[in-house]
Amino acid sequence: MSTQKKIVVCGAGGFIGGHLVADLLRQGQTNIRAVDIKPLGEWFQKFDKIENLSLDLGEKAACEKALEGGSLVYNLAADMGGMGFIENNKALCMLTVLINTHLLMAAKKHGVERFFYSSSACVYAADKQVNPDVTALKEADAYPAMAEDGYGWEKLFSERMCRHFTEDFGLLTRVARYHNVYGPIGTYEGGREKAPAAICRKVITAKLSGKHEIEIWGDGHQTRSFQYIDDCVMGTQKIMHSANVTMPINLGSSEMVTINQLVDLAEEIAGVKLKRNYNLKAPKGVNGRNSDNTLIQKLLGWEPSISLKSGLEKTYRWIYDDITAKK
């Protein structure tokens, strides 16, 4: 990939965006514009060798400024979080539609070469996710549409926007449906954290406090697959530069576990056993979700492969170090 083409990463101050910028820099890319709504001092990762802009991409003028001169655009920007956030902030999640809409308009205006959109497994139909022993979700399972209320519907609509900008205006778009991305240098408290980070934090807190109990949202039998950040960053770039991934495609691990098994792994890493208290009234999402990777294997000859045990241990160590450094 040429180092002369300007790469724009939207949502660069967030978890995935920060790791993507870091990886691009490791590859020798320096012609990068990083954009996020957060003040620069609040970015998860910020790199001084590149252009960093604090802009509200919900505004059309900000999107035009962000994409001016850009060639390759990664749109990772969204108002989102884990299940505790998206179930209680449906309107905010829906308003994210302004970001992708205005970015697509700006991409068309500025003649952007390629546009990547980060969608989500939350687009999948709810009636295909009612059983913990779920059949892995194929890309076609998003229709007939019955997406996650709020967040999932916004993602599905924005996927269609990408498709129609390609069909009507010739803008080359790529769409990946992320499945539960986790890893170090991310949110683990405050309400927007996802399950792996939340479980790590709860296990660490229980161990440090000596109160060996943990609250689990739901009955613990819900199933999910969790994708380590390094696989997500690699897959994102493979999809962006692919010649034949012209439709939304799963980007996730196919290693399915129950939430109880996720807790088992965190306890093993911590060297503790905790009493489990199940909060059946807490947000828990669908009963079962897993990624069918048949299509990504066929089109890219690749799929996420970092095991949950390996990735969770790295995540746990980072959260543990961050928590203890603040004490």
Q: Tally Cβ neighbours within 10 Å of residue 54.
A: 16
Paired tokens of 288 = 């079962």
State the catalytic residue, choosing from 151, 188, 228, 320: 151
CA–CA distance, 204 with 184 (Å, rounded to integer):
15
Q: In the β-sheet with 249-251, what is the strand arrangement from edge to edge?
A: 51-54, 32-36, 7-10, 72-75, 114-120, 172-178, 249-251
For residue 158, what are the CA distances in angstroms to 71, 236, 271? 20, 17, 43
Paired tokens of 238 = 């493979």
Q: Specify the amino acid at residue 216.
A: I
> Is residue 151 among the annotated active site residues?
yes
Helix 308-326, helix 259-270: angle, nearest 10: 60
In this structure, is the dihedral angle defined by the CA atoms of residues 133, 138, 144 and 150, taken in order, positive or negative?
A: positive
Write out the catalytic residue numbers: 151
